[in-house]
Structure 1
Amino acid sequence: MRNVAALGLVVFLAACGADGEPVTPTMNSHIGVTSDGVYGSTTIGIHDGPISITIGASNGCYRCW
Structure 2
Amino acid sequence: MTRIFGVLMLAALAGCGADGEPIRPTAQASVGVGSHGVHGAVGTTLRRGNVRVGMGVAL
TM-score normalized with structure 2 length: 0.59
Q: In the superposition, relative to structure 1, how do residues 18 and 53 fare at CA in structure 2: closer, same or farther (>3 Å)?
A: farther
Which of structures 1 and 2 has the bigger CA Rg? 2
Which consecutive aligned stretches of 4+ in structure 1 deviate over 6 angstroms post-superposition?
A: none
CA shift at 1:18, angstroms?
6.5
1:55 maps to 2:55: yes
Q: Give me the whole-angstrom Cα distance separating, in 2, the residues matched to 1:39 and 1:58.
A: 8
Q: Which residue in 2 is equivalent to 1:30?
A: 30
**Unpaired segments of 5 or more residues in structure 2?**
1-13
Partner of 1:47: helix, strand, or coil? strand
Please provide the CA RMSD for this pair: 2.2
Name 1:44's counterpart in structure 2. Answer: 44
Q: Give unpaired runs (5+ residues) of structure 1.
A: 1-12, 60-65
Q: For this pair of structures, how many residues does the alignment match?
A: 46
After superposition, what is the alpha-carbon deviation per residue over 1:12-61, rounded to whole angstroms, capped at 9, x for unaligned?
x85x43664212211111100124211111120111102211011111xx
Fraction of identical pairs, as percent: 37
